[in-house]
Structure 1
């Protein structure tokens, strides 16, 4: 700014003493016209520089906001309070791993219509996985199981929020969130939910919530997992996963390998 003012102040002496009077019919007008062009260019350049600085500051602020939000999610995920959510959700998933009927029950409960009833044969497994359920009768087990299913809903919502931060993939990958542990069990529920959605006109009419498959596909991309593009690929992954086999995967899940495919 000081340099611009100095150039402007020196314009008159230059025009008066250094430029011959007969150079121009009107000696001052060309000089000041030229200076006006110069000042306009400088002002335009200043605007461009200012916009560039603002864009850089906005980019830095956005990155810091993303990193802060991911950090807050990680604090939530690792908190003692959220540990109870994870425990309850994983009990529900473990029961679904060991009982295909219960997994289908879980998937049906993600929709507001055509919900299946609790399969009584799974009560023994629920008592085995949770000491607090051992003294409950069958009717009490059904009510107690609802609490674990609510915890699973919270986990699904947590990963759905995480999937929305795909643009900050580097941060998410470094935070981990134990996704590799949740992924195979969640794909069971996701695929069963997908099948119910595809096979029921009533569900498609009344249920507009995002399917779990959309969340898992986004997270698979972030974490670098090979995409699962069809039902067969999903069930091959599930039925061959070492951890699910260790958990006692219900052999009946292999029946899905021979059923008609739905797009994952």
Structure 2
């Protein structure tokens, strides 16, 4: 009101300006513009503070998430190792070896075992394979061997499932670095099974029709990579791995038929 009065009284500021009222409003506009600018500055400042607070909260959240993830990984490692060392899983490993060792000694029995991974085109268990099997089994007769064979083969499925879970474990390399899981014992036999599975699947349309997609070869590759080993690429590399293997070729009486590269290659017509 004071500014209005001064602006309307010509005698008061007439000697200073010829447009007193316009100049008064200009000064008022400048004042409010200044207030508005201060408001913008305050808003920007508050937004910067809010963003900084948000960054701090996000940093704390990320830290907490990393701690939780690390704890979960540690817990998974402990659980896997406890499973592997449990009395139950010891039976799984022993039963699996009751199948795998005879499969190394007898190519015929090996083919039978591989065929049983599929729902179609399964081979029969033949007593013609017994002369080779009896070299490495605790069973005294073929009949005694067949009584426990199916049970042991189901345990082999459990062993393969365990290593599949291990292979697909996030940060599997870190898990394996802490717990070995005796992979060097299983590796050559796993590769033999994986390659034989693939050959049987690819060469038989009936198996393809009724079977599920194969995954075990990819699992063994992932395990090799986690253990920093070079995956097997072809039949020659597989034969090179198994033919002079200290366990397979000597203690497990490796069947010579396993060492023929053509046995690990797809037959083309």
Q: Same fold (TM over 0.5)?
A: yes
Q: Is the 8 A contact 1:99 1:122 kept in 2?
A: yes
Structure 1, gaps ≥5 residues long: 1-20
Q: Which of residues 176, 183, 190 in structure 1 aligns to 2:180? A: 176
Q: Which of residues 77, 87, 91 in structure 1 aligns to 2:94? A: 87
CA distance in 2, matches of 1:254, 1:184: 12
Quote how far apart the aligned CAs of 1:45 are: 2.2
Q: Which of residues 83, 101, 111 in structure 1 aligns to 2:118? A: 111
Quote how far apart the aligned CAs of 1:233 are: 1.9
Quote how far apart the aligned CAs of 1:143 are: 3.3
Secondary structure of 2:171 counterpart: helix
- Aligned partner of 1:186 in structure 2 is 190
- Aligned partner of 1:157 in structure 2 is 161
Secondary structure of 1:25 counterpart: helix
Structure 1 pair 177–45 and aligned structure 2 pair: CA distance change class (3 A): same
Secondary structure of 1:150 counterpart: helix
Secondary structure of 2:219 counterpart: helix
Structure 2, gaps ≥5 residues long: 1-26
- Aligned partner of 2:47 in structure 1 is 40
Structure 1 pair 130–259 and aligned structure 2 pair: CA distance change class (3 A): closer
CA distance in 1, matches of 2:238, 2:55: 52
Q: Which of residues 223, 228, 236 in structure 2 aligns to 1:224? A: 228
Question: How many residues matched?
Answer: 239
| Larger of the two Rg values belongs to structure | 2
Structure 1 pair 249–125 and aligned structure 2 pair: CA distance change class (3 A): closer
Q: Does residue 50 of the first structure (1) align with residue 57 of the second (2)? A: yes
CA distance in 1, matches of 2:31, 2:173: 67
Q: Is the 8 A contact 1:66 1:168 kept in 2?
A: no
Q: Which of residues 238, 243, 254 in structure 2 aligns to 1:249? A: 254
- Aligned partner of 2:16 in structure 1 is none
Q: Does residue 97 of the first structure (1) align with residue 104 of the second (2)? A: yes
RMSD: 2.5
Secondary structure of 1:227 counterpart: coil
CA distance in 2, matches of 1:197, 1:166: 29
Secondary structure of 1:240 counterpart: coil
Secondary structure of 1:90 counterpart: helix
Quote how far apart the aligned CAs of 1:147 are: 0.8
CA distance in 2, matches of 1:207, 1:240: 34
